[in-house]
A and B are shown apart, each in its own frame.
Chain A
Amino acid sequence: MTTNPPANSKRRKLLAAAAASTTAAAVAPGLRLIEWATAAASNATDAQPVTDETRWGLLIDTDKCAVDCDACVRACNAEHGLAVTARPETDPQWIRKVTLTGDGDGDNSGDNSDDDGDNENAGRITSLPLLCQHCEHPPCVDVCPTGASFRRADGIVLVDKHTCIGCRYCVIACPYQARAFVHENLFAQKPWSPRGKGTVEGCTLCVHRIDQARTPACVEACNRGDGDGNNAGDGDDNNGDGNNTVAEGNTRIDGDSDHTGRNPDNCGAGALLFGDMNDPQSAIAGRLRAAPARQLRADLNLNTGVRYQNL
């Protein structure tokens, strides 16, 4: 669907040139071919579909991710208008914090057998954000009966809610439990993040921001400078537009509910790094080359777009 934009644009230019050489050919009353072709060409030049030259990825350094910090989760909730209600069982989660305790076998295999007997990693606490892993071979796309669950050419796995019938097959197929179902009528959705009852949803990697060359909201929150408690005027639209009201039960008026002088909506740990894994010059590609990174459930060979270091 997105593999041949050059051919398309060539064809459009050809059409426009052909139309220009035709003298005011009338195709309909009041509409001449030349106007139609010129309009089509000018509309086509402003954007091309995304291509697979880019593979968006997210690198998470679990050493930097604090156990008690959920700035990324709150940033996501605010960005996409995910309500935190009194019914957490049905609240959609696009990203959540997970805390792991080492089992001592040192190989992350899940079988708990300490093969070398050195008790490595025993009791080690690791905190990490868990979200859609944006697989290259996503099981949610494989099972979707309508084609609503799809992988964009640049690696972002999305739900086209126009065609989603809410069967929730993808919710079951996802090994990371990264998909959520909207159970209730919604009001006041964000214009950049349409959501509705009866459809499945999940992390979009903030695709609306990526298309504007911005970074995802969680990454921004994790990397936003911290410590002075003053983030006013930093140009970020998350501040003061609801970010401070979407919280887990406690009212945040000044964004400093823990009275530490630290704005809890900002993390500053810098555990999240977003970028193009296909671009050798990008920071994320450099970090992936420099140190080993782990894919969750690498045994499934899904080639995830979200990678974890120091896990």
Chain B
Amino acid sequence: MRRAVLISRATVAAILSIAVPAGADGMPQLPRGKGATCVEPLEVMRRNHMDFLNHERDLTVRGGIRGRKHSLTGCIACHAQRAGGRDGDPGAFIRIDAPGQFCHACHEFTGVKMDCFECHAAVPAGDLPETHAP
């Protein structure tokens, strides 16, 4: 069973890797976060980030516990990129689910749909567009 899952994942990844821009090693190129290290080791985050997020969302929504280290806003605060303007202008933040950005790059590569950002803000607080799109 486990073997079958691994094989199918590898197959999907192989097929998708044809269409997605990738680095020399064939993996998607992710923008780096701001900090020196992530809140967990890379391998732990790659495999378990969805469980961390699910767990903490229940603690937050139901128990009112906020600001723990596995929060979605924490991911976004660290990994969101700015568009970058002229003359040293940092530019506005790009949505983290935009093509090539942190969440999108890997989810596109693995073919896993995420719906977090249909409701959640995809840019850090303090740099939000003031109007809704038409």
Which A residues between 244 and 292 are near B, CB-CB below 8 angstroms?
245
A contact face: mostly helix, strand, loop, or mixed: loop
From residue A16, how far is it (CB to closest CB) to chain B in Å?
17
Query: Which chain A residues lie closer than 8 Å to B68 at the CB level?
Result: 43, 46-47
**For residue A1, which residues in chain B have a CB less than 8 angstroms away from its CB?**
62-63
List A contacts of B65 (CB < 8 A): 47-49
Does chain A have a CB within 8 A of B121? yes
Query: Is there contact, CB below 8 Å, between B119 and A199?
Result: yes
User: Is A137 interfacial (CB 8 A cutoff)?
Assistant: no
Q: Provide the main secondary structure of the chain B interface.
A: loop
Partner of A188, one of B41, B57, B59, B121: B121
Residues of B within 8 A of A49 (CB): 59, 62-65
Q: Would you call B120 and A50 a contact (CB within 8 A)?
A: no
**Contact residues of A between 136 and 159, Cβ < 8 Å to B:** 150, 152-154, 158
Check: B128 CB closer than 8 A to any chain A CB. yes
Of A43, A197, A208, which is within 8 A of B118 by CB?
A197
B131 within 8 A of A: yes
Complex-state Cα separation, A234 to B64, whole angstroms: 27
B130 contacts which of A158, A185, A192, A241 (Cβ < 8 Å)?
A241
Complex contact A242–B130 (CB within 8 A) = yes
Q: Is the CB of B132 within 8 A of A188?
A: yes
Q: Give the bracket for the number of chain A residues in contact with chain B.
A: 35 or more
Q: How distant is A191 from chain B, measured CB to nearest CB, in Å? A: 4
Q: Measured between C-beta atoms, what is the minimum distance from A58 to chain B in Å?
A: 17
Contact B121 A2 (CB under 8 A): no
Given A162-B57, A191-B73, A199-B119, decide whether A186 and B64 contact each other with a Cβ distance below 8 A.
no
Q: Is B129 engaged at the interface, CB distance under 8 Å to the other chain?
A: yes
- Judging by beta carbons under 8 Å apart, are B133 and A188 in contact? yes
Query: Interface residue count for B (Cβ, 8 Å)?
Result: 26
Give A188 to B67 CA distance when docked, in angstroms: 21
B28 interface residue per 8 A CB criterion: no
Given A83-B132, A241-B130, A158 contacting B121 (CB threshold 8 A): no
User: Is there an interface contact between A150 and B131, defined as CB atoms closer than 8 Å?
Assistant: no
How many whole Å from B119's CB to the nearest CB in chain A? 3
A2-B62, A49-B62, A211-B64 given; A194·B130 CB < 8 A: no
Q: Is the CB of A50 within 8 A of B64?
A: yes
B107 at the A/B interface (Cβ < 8 Å)? no
Task: Give complex CA distance A242, B131 in Å.
Answer: 8
How many Å from the CB of B81 to the closest CB on chain A? 17
- Minimum Cβ distance to chain A for residue B14 (Å): 27
Contact A194 B120 (CB under 8 A): yes
Task: Name A residues whose Cβ lies closer than 8 Å to a Cβ of B.
Answer: 1-2, 30, 43, 46-50, 81, 83, 85, 150, 152-154, 158, 160-162, 185-192, 194-197, 199, 207-208, 210-212, 241-242, 245
4 pairs of A and B residues whose beta carbons are closest in the complex: A49-B63, A196-B119, A191-B121, A194-B119
